[in-house]
Amino acid sequence: MLRKATHELVRSELARARRTAAMVTDPVSAGSLRRYIGELEEELHRHPRT
Amino acid sequence: MTETSDTIAPRSRKVRVLATLGPASDTPEMIATLFQAGADAFRINMSHGDQASKAQIIRSIRALEQKFNRPSTILADLQGPKLRVGKFAGGRVMLEHGSTFTLDHDPTPGDATRVRLPHREIFAAIEPGARLLLDDGKLVLRVTDHDENRIVTNVEIGGALSDNKGLNVPDVVVPMAALTEKDRSDLSFALEQGVDWIALSFVQRPEDLAEARKLIQGEAALLAKIEKPAAIERLEEIVEMCDGVMVARGDLGVELPPQSVPPLQKRIVETARRMGRPVVVATQMLESMIQSPSPTRAEVSDVATAIYDGADAIMLSAESAAGAWPVESVAMMNAIGDAVERDPMHGDRIHFTVTRPDPTTADALAESAKNIAATVSAAAIICFTSSGSTARRIARERPSVPILVLTPNRETARRLGLLWGTHNVVTRDVESFEEMVAKAKRIALRQGIAQAGDRVIVMAGVPFRTPGSTNVLHVVRIIGDELKDYRAQGE
């Protein structure tokens, strides 16, 4: 259950970060959000859906 | 906290009251009194006091759950990177209009010509012509020259300046870290204590929130305080990245002309509502009640305006934390909320902001629930939710009837305490559609939200326990015998 909750949480965070990144035009913010999205994608692979 | 027959009646108003706790109100008895007077959620200001005393306050708030059988909601407000000048020899100087005043790195106590500014980021970011505002904008300096070691200014508005007064730099984005070392320590403490919301101060960019989200890891919801002009310019990006928004009018009114604040307040509330995030209107709402048992008519009108705009919550700061009349301040907020929401025009005014549903099944059902409730004169919308997402979608529609939220997650029930119009009950999960409908009717009856003969709308996601799967809307009539032979314990 915890594992599933973690997967759902990371997936939700990733979707939010991607939506935000799509709105951003400032290059510094875009770079920061790209790094954050990369970290979340790695996290998602560590917590696959069960 | 599981629903029983002893549960106190739900609030009749839909706007939530958020009360800041402080020296005037942080005893267990006073916290309980504030709750009874109308406080729906409590704010703990991490700028003042030590962590041990805050742990005691948090225990006192959580004790309300046993006493009143209702979820409690706690918001920990981080201090953020508040800029301050250093100290003066003698503690205080007088800056004369038209004089030159320099800010530098020299730790020697300052005088009427200079003072230390312990924030190196500003020296790199500042530009000639930019304003520096001191002591909540009472003094204004204009930058004439600068390098990496000093900022030379002309005093445009002078006055007395004392040790460690606050500094605002409204004309440039200062690349400050979103979280100071103190904030990180306070955040770690607040998460250990299990608070429900974290408020991040002086947000300027969406990545400020990303930094906080990495540390919070879903353990609390994140509220962005909008108090910098830079945040206004990137409002939608910031709202997307957070779970809720606060219109922090104090610093906003320092960095921008005061006449700019009302239209910005409306814009922030409208944006948050449109994007489905709860929005809190804060600062100086009943300021005169710090000293007086009754507010000015202008203050009452200010609170009413926030309610008519459709804010989810209205907040008390020093009025409840440090004033002479904390209980009366909360009771006044409660009374204003009741009065405004009884106004027959309230529904029309609150829907002046159009919140178009996203193209999802859940959003379509939430909009339909609002419309069906009005058409069939339903007594309530009842939703089953694990994450709170369904409740947020329904609240965004601002229906005319109460929203009864049933959730198996205590954390969800607590977080929803800032959300407009919801009455949140922790209950065991359901196994079948029939069980869901029967339970919805029982709890609506027991909570006094519906009576025999009323129709209610029940919403949920099937299969159960799948977050974000809301796909059922069911209209049922309450017979009145649903509680017959049914024991509440274990619901």
Question: Would an 8 Å CB–CB cutoff place B358 in contact with chain A?
Answer: no
ipTM: 0.90
> Which of A13, A20, A39 lies closest to B237 in CB terms?
A20
> According to the model, what pLDDT value does residue B462 have?
82
Condensed to tens digits (0 to 9), the pLDDT of residues B135-147 reads: 988 999 999 999 9
**Yes or no: is domain B361-477 CATH 3.40.1380.20?**
yes
Note which residues in 1-50 of chain A have CB less than 8 A from chain B: 8-9, 13, 16-17, 19-20, 23-24, 26, 28-29, 32-33, 36, 39
Domain B16-80+179-344: CATH superfamily, name plus number? Phosphoenolpyruvate-binding domains (3.20.20.60)
Cis upstream peptide for B175 (omega within 30°): no
Given a cut of 90, is residue B30 above it in pLDDT?
A: yes
Give me chain A's average pLDDT, please: 86
> According to the model, what pLDDT value does residue B9 have?
75
Stretch(es) of chain B classified as CATH 3.40.1380.20: 361-477
| Tokens linked to A4 | 């599933």
Given a cut of 60, is residue B4 above it in pLDDT?
A: no
Give the predicted TM-score (pTM) of the model: 0.91
- The average pLDDT across B473-481 equals 91
Stretch(es) of chain B classified as CATH 3.20.20.60: 16-80+179-344
Element (H, E) at B2: none
Give bridge partners of residue B405 from the DSSP assignment: B383, B424
**Is the Cβ–Cβ distance between B407 and B426 less than 8 Å?**
yes
Q: Domain B83-168 class?
A: mainly beta
d(C-alpha B370, C-alpha B444), whole Å: 17
Which distant-in-sequence residues (6+ apart) come within 8 Å of B250 by Cβ? B136, B227, B282, B283, B284, B317
3-state helix, strand, coil in chain B (%, to 5): 35, 25, 40
> According to the model, what pLDDT value does residue B336 have?
98
> According to the model, what pLDDT value does residue B1 have?
47
Given a cut of 80, is residue B486 above it in pLDDT?
A: no
Q: Give, in order, the Cα–Cα distances in Å from B281 to each of B74, B235, B428.
A: 16, 16, 34
d(C-alpha B161, C-alpha B102), whole Å: 14
> According to the model, what pLDDT value does residue B209 have?
97
Given a cut of 80, is residue B53 above it in pLDDT?
A: yes
- Residue to substitute from B241, B409, B415, B466, interface A, most A β-carbons within 10 A: B241
Note which residues in 160-219 of chain B have CB less than 8 A from chain A: 205-207, 210, 213-214, 217-218
Given a cut of 90, is residue B162 above it in pLDDT?
A: yes
Condensed to tens digits (0 to 9), the pLDDT of residues B59-118 reads: 999 999 999 999 999 999 999 988 999 999 999 999 999 999 999 999 999 999 999 999
> Which of B207, B214, B240 lies closest to A23 in CB terms?
B240
| Tokens linked to B450 | 């519906």
Sheet with B470-477: strands ordered across: B422-426, B403-407, B380-384, B455-461, B470-477
Condensed to tens digits (0 to 9), the pLDDT of residues B380-425 reads: 999 999 999 999 999 999 999 999 999 999 999 999 999 999 999 9
Stretch(es) of chain B classified as CATH 2.40.33.10: 83-168
Choice among A7-11, B273-277, B308-312, B410-414 with the minimum mean pLDDT? A7-11
* Strand duo B92-95 + B159-162: pairing: antiparallel
One-letter amino acid at B273 equals R
d(C-alpha B345, C-alpha B483), whole Å: 37
